Amino acid sequence: MVRGAAAVSDGTSQPRHVAIIMDGNGRWATERGWPRLVGHRRGAERVKQIVRACPELGVDWLTVYAFSTENWKRSTEEVLGLMKIFRRYIQYEAEGMASEGVRLRFIGGRERLDRKLQDLMAAIEARTAGNTRLNLTVAINYGGRDELLRASARLAEKIARGEIETPGQADLEACLDTAGQPDPDLVIRTSGETRVSNFLPWQAAYSEYEFTKTLWPDFTPEHLAAILDRFGLRDRRFGGA
């Protein structure tokens, strides 16, 4: 049993959907005198632990920010290393996720990713499509502004084809990468930074936020459980009195 899980088990104020900005991998490695990619590999291992803890903690949906549209500005060595980590993670975790009831999906623009990675992403999405124990969404080459631009273009095409006469919020939401998924109740950012970094700007409009100084490779299921406990004390009014 993960410590703290009992405090959020009644479901009265339990976040159904948790989104995480997994920050601090490179800093974690640098502080230890190691290459930044060591931190990213440790971060990938941490994802596996958090994914396994979520169902026990009552979380049905988990979205993690793995690679942003701005991360292409990093060194070629780091970007190529990250892409290799993504490929290995998908290859070696596919069967485990399928057997553990995890459904894996990806959001973000895929056209800039190499074909092998795109094929792996599509294959594991199909392999886990029927799973319901946990819905895991990984944001790769994702940026909120980019998503909104792409969604607006899709919506404009529907309007031009005469499929929609008077577009509303629901029509735009249906064109987002996250169409059909619930909005996050809680967004967590690790490493002490207090920015949202272009992550789910539409979906997280009424999310609660938690910023922790813990670097992502050090973020344990116990840390998550403690944050969920604190979430239960919040009064969410969604603009009401």
- Asked if 178 and 105 count as a contact pair (C-beta separation under 8 A), the reply is no
Establish whether 70 is an annotated binding residue. yes
**Other beta carbons within 10 Å of 121:** 21
Instruction: Give the tokens for residue 128.
Output: 């886990």
> How far lies 26's CA from each of 34, 43, 83, 124, 203, in Å?
9, 9, 15, 27, 27
CA–CA distance, 78 with 9 (Å, rounded to integer): 40
25 is in an annotated binding site: yes
Per-residue pLDDT reduced to its tens digit, 129-179: 999 999 999 999 999 999 999 999 999 999 999 999 999 999 999 999 999
The annotation status of 88 as a binding-site residue, yes or no, is no
- Residue 1 in this model has a pLDDT that exceeds 50: no
- CA-wise closest residue to 124 among 83, 88, 90: 90
> Hey, what domains does the chain have and what are their CATH numbers?
14-143+183-230 (3.40.1180.10)
CB-based contacts of 230, cutoff 8 Å, min separation 6: 210
Assess contact for 198 and 144: CB atoms under 8 A. Answer: yes
Residue 138 marked in a binding site = no
Give the integer Cα–Cα distance in Å for 31 and 26: 9
Asked if residue 5 has pLDDT above 50, the reply is no
Q: The pTM is what?
A: 0.92
Mean pLDDT of the chain: 93
HSE value, Cβ hemisphere, 13 Å, CA-based, for 68: 17
Is 114 exposed, middle or buried (CB count within 10 Å of its CB: 0-12, 13-18, 19+)?
exposed
Q: Positive or negative, the Cα torsion across 212, 226, 50, 16?
A: negative
Residue 115, annotated as binding a ligand: no
Catalytically active residues are 23, 71
Q: Classify 21 as helix, strand or coil.
A: strand
Give the model's confidence band at 3: pLDDT under 50 very low, under 70 low, under 90 confident, else very high. very low
